[in-house]
Chain A
Amino acid sequence: MMSEKEDLLTVYVASFQKGDLSSFSLFFEATKRPLFYNIYSLSKSREESEDLLQETFIRFLENVKDVRLDRSILGYLMVLSRNLSLDRLRKKKHESLKEEDLSAHGERDSYRLDEESLLERIKGTLKDKEFETFVLRAMDDLSFKEIAKLQRRPLGTVLWCYQNALKKIRKEIPYESL
């Protein structure tokens, strides 16, 4: 599944490199979900994740001529989105450490008011990497091998991380509460 999808992405990107952006919507649809959750695992809110998702695609288009077609396009996007998210996180840390927690003024709360979902609860329970692994598995139906490839981590580490995540979630959200 992954390789067919990758082949298709490569075709899209090859056309972008020639200046033809007509297939961008298809490209966006094919990649937005894993990217969104990748970002969401690091960011503080869905609003911010939306913003970073858009920034990821813009940066991707700005540098599309340098994208290598013999490598995983989705992997490239994942790394790009992760780096942008970490940059934002560092920047926010600078600001928030001085300004104190925004929640004191209700701003951060307003991010969260719209959706206190199962995923929000899971996010609150897991570490970043665990949540990222969980969403790639749960929301994007990726195999562990595919996740290991994307995260550039050993398969065993990914499996261990996922099992650990499940244990933590179960402790926080028992079967009967689901």
Chain B
Amino acid sequence: MKAYEEKLLAKAKEDRYEIRSDPERILSAYERREKEASEKAPRKRWVLPLALSSSLLAASIVVFVIGIIHDDTPKGIPWNPDASKTMCEELFSFYSYQGGSDRGLPLKKPLLKEAASEATTPFYETAMAFEDHFSFFLSCHSYSSSLLKAEHVILDKPFVTEKATFEYKAEFTYGDERAFTLYYSDMGAFLSKAEATFRSYYVGGEKEYEVTIRKEEEREEGESEKKIALSFFNVRDESDIFSIERKEELEEDESERSYSLMRFSSLSAYRNEEADLSLSFEIEEDEAKETSFEIEKKEKEFEYESILPTETGFRFDASFEGNEREYSFPNVLLDLEEDGHRYRFGSENRFFPNKSQ
């Protein structure tokens, strides 16, 4: 083996690839970006009055297209992409959980009934639970905020519900696909205060929800904690209530993000925090980017830890607690295949076909 190693290393060295990147070009690109960043601030100030005057003069619908992350913010419309970024991401998480549609995320059907007839094993249950909520997991894990955009409209006539009046509408798109609509009113207080509540109205597909959004921010020496919680109440179905929460903790060099989604079957269950489904996702923003995902459903608890992307999908260590037993499945491989998702652990190999299959 030693002789082989020596020869291999020598050959590999002969094979040295000549790196073509040029430090001068890197410096130029860096300086160009710095210049663009410094020029961005003054531009914000004149975009605002221009947009405002247009809206007043035309006295009709004024449309702004706002990239959630990278855009200038016209302050005339009560929206601030930077300040409301987290809120938008959580709205998107809810949209993802609802199944979204064909938006470029590899969404899968939760599970085909035919597949359920396969032999049920603890690993199968564990894989199935992950698969059921794969789209939510993916929206937390691999969400690309640059793809989420909103087109804002000042309504000719306010949108009035039993509980509130909304003067503005935002149509959200993810990539090329229309995602959901949000009606809202003045967000000034919500954006400027550390603790505030904001009401809006969400329309996604055929479902409509009244949404209450609460935010809390705490800062202490070297530590900060931000929390945003969104509660969705289906206006036509009292048994359709969701709560989504996102927390970001920052302590010196370490930061941690966590997301949770809970589903409640009634208003009293919501008030008593008795969820019939609870999903939680955590990611540590250190070099390891350690990620974990947890599902609690009908007295069963599934945990997926140390989730890492692989060339073909993800790998993780899974465990399942239920039926008065505990099971663990280290090093599970999830392959995202063209026709569906394949979960592998030891000799077990479970495949969940795509929605269209």
Q: Which residues of A contact B (CB under 8 A)?
A: 21, 24-25, 28-29, 32-33, 36, 46, 50, 53-54, 57-58, 61-62, 79, 82-83, 86, 89-91, 93-95, 97-98, 100-101, 115, 117-119, 122, 127-128, 137-139, 152, 166, 169-170, 173, 175, 178
Contact = CB atoms under 8 A, between A and B. Distances in A.
A169 B27 contact: no
A90 B336 CA distance: 12
A97 B108 CA distance: 12
A119 B29 contact: no
A28 B142 contact: no
A58 B26 contact: yes
B11 interface: yes
A95 B146 CA distance: 14
B21 to A, nearest CB: 5
B106 interface: yes
A170 B27 CA distance: 42
Interface string B135-170: 000000110100000000000000000000000000
Given A138-B12, A166-B8, A175-B3, A62 B33 contact: yes
A53 B336 CA distance: 27
A94 B17 contact: no
Contacts, number: 109
A55 to B, nearest CB: 9
10 contacts: A28-B21, A28-B23, A53-B21, A54-B29, A62-B30, A91-B142, A98-B104, A117-B17, A127-B310, A175-B7
A170 to B, nearest CB: 6
A170 B288 CA distance: 30
B261 to A, nearest CB: 21
A4 B345 CA distance: 45
Given A94-B144, A169-B8, A178-B7, A54 B17 contact: no
B98 to A, nearest CB: 19
A21 B27 contact: yes
Interface of B: 1, 3-5, 7-9, 11-13, 15-17, 19-21, 23-27, 29-30, 33-34, 104-106, 141-142, 144, 287-289, 309-311, 336, 338
Nearest to A71: B253
A54 B104 contact: no
Contact of B13 (A21, A62, A139): A139
Interface centre among A21, A93, A166, A170 (most CB of B within 10 A): A93
Contact of A58 (B11, B16, B29, B287): B29
A95 B23 CA distance: 30
Nearest to B11: A178
B311 A100 contact: no
Contacts of A178: 4, 7-8, 11
A118 B106 contact: no
B142 A24 contact: no
B26 to A, nearest CB: 5
B30 A61 contact: yes
Contacts of B287: 79, 82-83, 152
B33 A138 contact: no
Contacts of B311: 127-128
B309 A119 contact: no
A24 B26 CA distance: 10
B55 to A, nearest CB: 35
B289 A83 contact: yes
Contacts of B9: 137-138
Contacts of B26: 24, 28, 54, 57-58, 61
Contacts of B142: 90-91, 93-94
Given A28-B23, A54-B21, A94-B142, A138 B30 contact: no
